[in-house]
Chains A and B, each alone.
Chain A
Amino acid sequence: MRRIWMPFTALLFATSVQGAELPCTVPDDLALHDLVLPAVKRSVAEGALPVLVLGGAAMAGAAAGDAAATLPAQLETDLAAALPGVRVRVVNKAVPRATADAALPRIPKLIAETGARLVIWATGAREAATGGDLEPFVSALEDGIEAARAAGADVILVDMQYAPSLALIANYEPFRTALIDIAAVHEIPILLRYEMMRAWNDGGILDLDVREPEARRQVARRLYACLAAALAGPIAAAAR
């Protein structure tokens, strides 16, 4: 029932608020809380925070149409604002359609190159879309986490994007559950991007099914800003 009325309520807001956007607040049970990021903390104490972002097309950010509007770029801005006096640098090394297996061998090299003390790793979408066995995904993910930690960086995982229509043909659940389980087993934070996007979409905050190209770009930019904010606040709090 609620879904039937949703477009109407969204329309109501759109006309009555006159273009003002609803804020993309993160529901409390989805937000990152009390992160423990020792490498980040030490690095910030020394006045710098190098961050490495790994992921697929959603992190690479072509949908935003502008390098400055991608999630990693907006995260850099947010972190710099939250940590005055700290040299924040977010390096975006996401590759569209990258699997965890493809990212794995790059991790030690990229950390050495960038000096990253925090790795933000979004993964699982490509595996879920192509379907297949969980086992290779799980072992690549676990090896990647170990490699990042061994190179002296903290890790934050990011699960898949919520895509209301493409759920028709891709089954995310086994891979998303595995990501959440692995984060729990290794005691590392995971940004529940899927649930956040679903909440924003269902709450009329972001229309993920919009069709017109320019509107799609706007939605992508806004989405990346919302997700960057959801990461930046808790990371900055853990760094202080």
Chain B
Amino acid sequence: MARSDAAAGRDYRLDFFRGLALFAIFIDHIPNNPLGYFTIRGLALADAAEVFIFISGYTAAMVYGRKMLRDGPLFASALILRRVWQLYVAHICLFVLYSAEVAYTVRRFDNPLFSDELGIGDFLVRPDETIIRVLLLEFQPALLDILPLYIALLGVLPLFMLAVRRHAVAALLCSAGLYVLAQVTELNLPGNTDANGWFFNPFAWQFLFFIAASLGFAQARGRPVLPTAGWKRQALLIGSAAIAAAGLVIQLSWTLHLWKPWIPGVLFQSLFPIHKSLLPPIRLISILALASLVGLLIKREAAFMTGRVGWLVILCGQNSLYVFCLSILLSLLGNAVLTFAGRTVPMLIAVNLGGVLLMIGMGLLGTWFDAGGRFPPRPVAAPAGGTA
């Protein structure tokens, strides 16, 4: 994202939590990774995908919203579409790398005992059909499903911003209507096969993205929505905290239930499995509650974010496209390493730590390039002035 908004005072919470979400995406995508119990998906009824989509929607609308207000809608839309093209190219590149891994694995381990059962690599048998489906964003193998969602959402962001500028409530109501329609009819775009659609149903997930986008656009217009004082702030704070706490208890009880079956899984029967594809209201409310808590309780330049360690997370968040693509490749690679070398504790530590360090390296590299071959200084933590 454009990162020269020093005048407006950069909101480091966006970079920091997007950086954390990128780490979580890497960690969660390694099968059987014990560390996955400690990422957001183990602590809330939402996971890194919601965080990523929320922050991306907010940031995109804020950054491009400012451009729209300054340079007009045509130029802002053109910038957004250029970004969409970059994401599309990144997605195709990831797909080629992923296919190479599958092709290698299938070729090397083609044992009829397993291969008929799984049908992995079927898509390599019909490359003519597969290539077209990939270019149309229909074919989305596991792990390669979130970028297409982001591409689609960003692609319609110019229209949404124009609508919000006219009438914010009406624009959001349209988005909500589409969300309800998706929940009821399971309307979806064509996916891997004709039978199933996109894993991240874009008609459902657009609601989260556009809620965040309208908040980000309001920020760009200098009319932030989040109440900063008074009973409204108190009510929002208490409500969000209650929702987040309930989510924490429920999710923790499920994790503990898996580990020790005598621990009851709270509401397990009625809530499990949470239908992630459709972003059901429970997930939507959970992520909005978490976002409100961060917005209300954490300062834009809080010391833990701009400190030595937090700053590294921020740099990852600021270079999100590169770090995201790397995280997907590292998940595949990490799983391969663990499969061959065994899922021992030292190997798990090495893979998780190594992956996070490489992602930080990518964040540093991106920053170094953007700053013309040097590292810009960290912001000096705002004088605390008595309160934390």
Would you call B339 and A164 a contact (CB within 8 A)? yes
Would you call A216 and B258 a contact (CB within 8 A)? no
Would you call A132 and B196 a contact (CB within 8 A)? yes
B294-333 with Cβ < 8 A to chain A: 332
B100-130 with Cβ < 8 A to chain A: 101-102, 105, 108-109, 111-120
- Closest-by-CB residue of A relative to B261 is A184
In the bound complex, residues from chain A placing their C-beta under 8 Å from that of B114 are 58, 161, 163, 166
Q: Does A220 contact B (CB under 8 A)?
A: yes
Q: Besides the contacts A165-B108, A216-B113, what 5 more A-B pairs have beta carbons closer than 8 Å? A: A1-B344, A131-B143, A133-B277, A163-B114, A168-B335
Stretch of A8-16, A31-39, A147-155, A169-177 lying at the B interface:
A169-177
Would you call B273 and A138 a contact (CB within 8 A)? yes
In the bound complex, residues from chain B placing their C-beta under 8 Å from that of A208 are 111, 113
Which residue of B31, B32, B117, B196 is within 8 Å of A126 (Cβ)?
B117
**Given the interface contacts A167-B335, A168-B336, does A3 sit within 8 Å of B342 by beta carbon?**
yes
Q: Does A107 contact B (CB under 8 A)?
A: no
In the bound complex, residues from chain A placing their C-beta under 8 Å from that of B143 are 131
A30-66 with Cβ < 8 A to chain B: 56-58, 60, 62-63
In the bound complex, residues from chain B placing their C-beta under 8 Å from that of A125 are 117-118
The list of the 7 closest CB pairs from A to B, nearest first, reads: A131-B142, A57-B116, A129-B118, A165-B109, A171-B31, A163-B114, A134-B273
Which residue of A60, A126, A165 is within 8 Å of B339 (Cβ)?
A165
In the bound complex, residues from chain B placing their C-beta under 8 Å from that of A57 are 116-117
Would you call B258 and A168 a contact (CB within 8 A)? no
A-B contact pairs, 8 of them (CB 8 A): A62-B112, A131-B199, A133-B199, A135-B275, A138-B273, A163-B114, A209-B109, A210-B111
The interface residues of chain A, by DSSP majority, are classed as helix
In the bound complex, residues from chain A placing their C-beta under 8 Å from that of B102 are 169
Which of A's residues lie within 8 Å of B, judged by CB?
A: 1-3, 56-58, 60, 62-63, 96-97, 125-126, 128-135, 138, 160-161, 163-173, 177-178, 181, 184-185, 208-210, 216, 219-220, 223
**Complex-state Cα separation, A219 to B112, whole angstroms:** 11
In the bound complex, residues from chain B placing their C-beta under 8 Å from that of A177 are 258
Which residue of A138, A161, A168 is within 8 Å of B113 (Cβ)?
A161
Which residue of A166, A173, A216 is within 8 Å of B105 (Cβ)?
A166
Chain B interface residue bracket vs A: 35 or more
**Complex-state Cα separation, A126 to B192, whole angstroms:** 14
B141-157 with Cβ < 8 A to chain A: 141-143
**Given the interface contacts A125-B117, A165-B109, A168-B335, does A173 sit within 8 Å of B32 by beta carbon?**
yes
Q: Which of B101, B114, B342 has the most CB of A within 10 A?
A: B114
- Closest-by-CB residue of A relative to B111 is A216
In the bound complex, residues from chain A placing their C-beta under 8 Å from that of B332 are 169
Would you call A169 and B258 a contact (CB within 8 A)? no
In the bound complex, residues from chain A placing their C-beta under 8 Å from that of B142 are 130-132, 171
**Complex-state Cα separation, A160 to B339, whole angstroms:** 17
**Complex-state Cα separation, A97 to B120, whole angstroms:** 10
Which residue of B101, B117, B269, B277 is within 8 Å of A161 (Cβ)?
B117
Would you call A130 and B192 a contact (CB within 8 A)? yes
In the bound complex, residues from chain B placing their C-beta under 8 Å from that of A60 are 116
**Given the interface contacts A131-B199, A208-B113, A216-B111, does A167 sit within 8 Å of B118 by beta carbon?**
no
Q: Which of A96, A164, A166 has the most CB of B within 10 A?
A: A166
**Given the interface contacts A97-B119, A132-B196, does A63 sit within 8 Å of B105 by beta carbon?**
no
Would you call A219 and B276 a contact (CB within 8 A)? no
Would you call B105 and A132 a contact (CB within 8 A)? no
Which residue of B112, B276, B336 is within 8 Å of A133 (Cβ)?
B276
**Given the interface contacts A135-B275, A178-B273, does A172 sit within 8 Å of B31 by beta carbon?**
yes
Would you call B339 and A168 a contact (CB within 8 A)? yes
Would you call B109 and A63 a contact (CB within 8 A)? no
Return A83 CB to nearest CB of chain B, in Å: 29
In the bound complex, residues from chain A placing their C-beta under 8 Å from that of B101 are 168-169
Would you call A129 and B120 a contact (CB within 8 A)? yes
Which residue of B119, B277, B339, B342 is within 8 Å of A135 (Cβ)?
B277
Return A4 CB to nearest CB of chain B, in Å: 8
Per-residue A-contact encoding for B64-93, CB less than 8 Å = 1, 0 else: 000000000000000000000000000000
- Closest-by-CB residue of A relative to B258 is A177
In the bound complex, residues from chain A placing their C-beta under 8 Å from that of B196 are 132
